[in-house]
Structure 1
Amino acid sequence: MILLNLGTYPPKQCGIATFSMDLRNSLLINGNEVKVMAVSDNSYQYHYTDEVLFNLKQNHKQSYIRAANYLNKAPLELIIIQHEYGIYGGMEGEYIAELVRLLHKPFVLITHTVLPRPSKRQKQVLNYLCSRASAIVCMTRRSEHLLSDLYEAPPELIQVIPHGVPEFKEQTQDSLKEKYGLQGRDLISTFGLIGPGKGLELGIQAIAQIVKEHPQATYLILGQTHPMLKKQEGEKYRHMLEDMVVKLGLEHNVVFVNKFLSDEELGEYLYMSDIYLSPYPNKDQAVSGTMAFAIGCGRAIVSTSYAYACEFLSGGRGLLAAEADPEELAGLMKRILTNPDLKQSLQYNALKLGKSWSWPSVGQQYTRLFEKLLAETPLTKEPRISYARL
């Protein structure tokens, strides 16, 4: 199959860009040809690799019209559109709807954010995209129900495919702690691009409670500040976290690893972590690639009870705090640190699920979906009749 992925793409540093690259690689492994249309913002000059055929300017509406014309003429069988409101231009990312309106090729919509309480415009945009798609992919059962019940997507078009996970090289915890000079420490980690909304304040405050009984507990905050946030306000948020660490006297218990981590480095940090902490305060968080990675590595996970965590940490795969409360998070982590059997059980249950989430396996699921669609859909596709309006 000749496919094209539309979304952000490396070297841009964001979750959708990483997902787009990983999905492409997984589809290549499964025998597909995959080109890329990359969405670029105005803040940086991106130097893309050869698979990027078209640079879509995020905030230029005319660029979306040119992109649609390009896609219609190109020898492509199927378009994959990554949907996240923030990566496209216009109010609530509405410019992508202009491209879709002009597109005469079948496309699969991959939804990364399915809000249970959208604004009027957010609902209109996603409703319209769903009405024109040949298939809609989401990553949780909760999102599946929201798409059909709230966004009026035809249920027969929706398919749940989990977030993929790299095939991390498994390594022993003791050898990794020795490699990084962290022997004898109880390691708690959180990774991802840093910015408000990630709940890192909660994590630091929870560590302050834990070290009273576990003085060797060490919190690894892994990742650099989100490039767009850094462009707007520098390291203001990181400095606030660093000041909090000093104020709480945690200089020897909180370590900032301020860099964008490769999959190899992430795997090492995850495998040497005794606990993975996911302290997102937003209960509507539909997908978390970082938690998917932790599940894929079979970590003992403690999390706030946001939507993605509630769905995938059930069945003994993790511990959930009812509220985004540092004392409650600290209590759950202390349970793991004092109970090796609980830690082992959580790791086993998480890994059992995570093994099925490897990118080659996920790429196979996407490939089967695409083959089925192309068997049913002509190359040039007239839009389905729809009453969705923008």
Structure 2
Amino acid sequence: MSTYPPTQCGLATFTAALYEHLSRLPGHVGVVRVLDDPDGGPPAAEVVADLVNGSRASAAAAVHTLNGYDVVVVQHEYGIYGGFDGADVLEVVEALTVPTMVVLHTVLENPTSQQRWILERLVTAADVVVTMAETARDRLVEYYGVDLARIVVIPHGAIDHRSMRGTRSAGPRPLILTWGLLGPGKGIEWAIDAMQGLRDLRPRYLVIGKTHPKVLKRDGEEYRRSLAVRARERGVADIVEFDASYLELPALANLVECADVVLLPYDSPDQVTSGVLIEAVAAGRPVVSTAFPHAVELLAGGSGLIVPQRDPGALALSLRRVLTEPGLAEEMAASAASQAPSLVWSAVAQRYRSAAASLVAAS
């Protein structure tokens, strides 16, 4: 149960990739699609029901459908379900009578009382709780009192780039890449400021991705326009390029392969899951990232450099090191390559299936 294409958001992309690889394994997999609008576009063949936010009838139908399966996997993010902070998900999950895995894409260290209430009820209703990083697991134990034995850490999946190695074509200018749905909190402001310190290298900083649908609905393209204004004011409009495309996975894989360095300048100190980070490491690309928890954990082995949040000078210095220091990018790529086999979608799907099989056996 999750958002699902044609909805364009991180959870929809995640679930589509997980479905694709689970469906290659023995058994039958269906998708209950979460929608804000009942006219959410024609469903794919694997969509067995729609959960329309705000519709009690569709919630009851979703529960009936889900209870016909052996195991239910619920993707959870506060913004995708109906009700205040997405509280309507509880009505569905607490009505399930089959073993349930809840996958937590966000685990806040300092939640609001409402967010804490939702998460505590969710994990109580779940048979297994999945996090994508050890940091998130540790937060559940320390701040939410969840029994460690009920938590499984399964990484966010990534495209298998190993068969693509060697296809990279370097351009005349070093390519610094940031991608994902655009909105406040991504830290693009500080990355733009950092480009001032790299003019002598003539980099191309490409920021690719549509504006997040919820940001677009609330503010239109004001945030994207503010970034373009900032680039002009800083005198780096010739270095910074915005592309409002939403890339499907094959196109994204090709683009990531061409990057000299992937830049994650995120503001949030709470982020415990980043599909962009996983994709970059799986592709063997050097990473420069701010010190959000998932990056600190995943890059500790040497596949990236960590800098403080909101520090353009530190960003510029680390980017310069990757682009100019002899052997550094190659060392980072080798470290990333050693991590890649456990991060690709085929390995991740197998871990979900194994966890589900254990639940069925136990029930």
Report the TM-score range of the alignment, normalised by the length of the smaller protein: over 0.9
1:297–1:282 Cα change, 3 Å: same
- Distance (Å, rounded) in 2 between the aligned partners of 1:258 and 1:288: 20
Contact 1:94 1:125 in 2 (8 A): yes
- Distance (Å, rounded) in 1 between the aligned partners of 2:286 and 2:332: 5
**Residue 30 of structure 2: SS of its match in structure 1?**
strand
- Distance (Å, rounded) in 2 between the aligned partners of 1:173 and 1:370: 37
- Distance (Å, rounded) in 1 between the aligned partners of 2:102 and 2:191: 34
Aligned residues with identical type, % of pairs: 35
- Distance (Å, rounded) in 2 between the aligned partners of 1:171 and 1:357: 16
- Distance (Å, rounded) in 2 between the aligned partners of 1:309 and 1:224: 23
Instruction: Tell me by how many angstroms 1:61 deviates.
Output: 4.3
Instruction: Tell me by how many angstroms 1:261 deviates.
Output: 0.8
- Distance (Å, rounded) in 2 between the aligned partners of 1:265 and 1:104: 40
Structure 2 unaligned spans of 5+ = none
1:139-169: per-residue Cα shift (whole Å, max 9, x none)?
1111111112222222211110111001235
The aligned amino acid for 1:299 is R
What does 1:297-376 align with in structure 2 at a 5 Å threshold?
297-376=283-362
What does 1:90-101 align with in structure 2 at a 5 Å threshold?
90-101=83-94
Contact 1:30 1:360 in 2 (8 A): no
- Distance (Å, rounded) in 2 between the aligned partners of 1:44 and 1:248: 43
Aligned residues: 362
1:364–1:301 Cα change, 3 Å: same
Instruction: Tell me by how many angstroms 1:324 deviates.
Output: 2.3
1:210–1:44 Cα change, 3 Å: farther
The aligned amino acid for 2:278 is A
Which residue of the partner structure matches residue 104 of structure 2?
111
- Distance (Å, rounded) in 2 between the aligned partners of 1:125 and 1:118: 10
Contact 2:207 2:243 in 1 (8 A): yes
What does 1:15-94 align with in structure 2 at a 5 Å threshold?
15-42=10-37, 45-72=40-67, 74=68, 76-94=69-87
**Residue 262 of structure 2: SS of its match in structure 1?**
strand
- Distance (Å, rounded) in 2 between the aligned partners of 1:329 and 1:54: 45
Find out whether 1:136 has 2:129 as its counterpart.
yes
- Distance (Å, rounded) in 2 between the aligned partners of 1:103 and 1:349: 42
The aligned amino acid for 1:21 is A
Instruction: Tell me by how many angstroms 1:37 deviates.
Output: 0.5
- Distance (Å, rounded) in 1 between the aligned partners of 2:42 and 2:103: 25
TM-score (norm 1): 0.89
Cα RMSD after superposing both structures? 1.6
2:194 is matched with which residue: 191, 195, 206?
206
1:67–1:264 Cα change, 3 Å: closer
Which residue of the partner structure matches residue 124 of structure 1?
117
**Residue 263 of structure 2: SS of its match in structure 1?**
strand
Instruction: Tell me by how many angstroms 1:46 deviates.
Output: 2.5
**Residue 16 of structure 1: SS of its match in structure 2?**
helix
Contact 2:82 2:88 in 1 (8 A): yes
TM-score (norm 2): 0.95
What does 1:147-226 align with in structure 2 at a 5 Å threshold?
147-168=140-161, 169-172=163-166, 175=169, 177=170, 183-211=171-199, 213-214=200-201, 216-226=202-212
- Distance (Å, rounded) in 2 between the aligned partners of 1:310 and 1:242: 30
Structure 1 unaligned spans of 5+ = 1-5, 178-182, 378-390
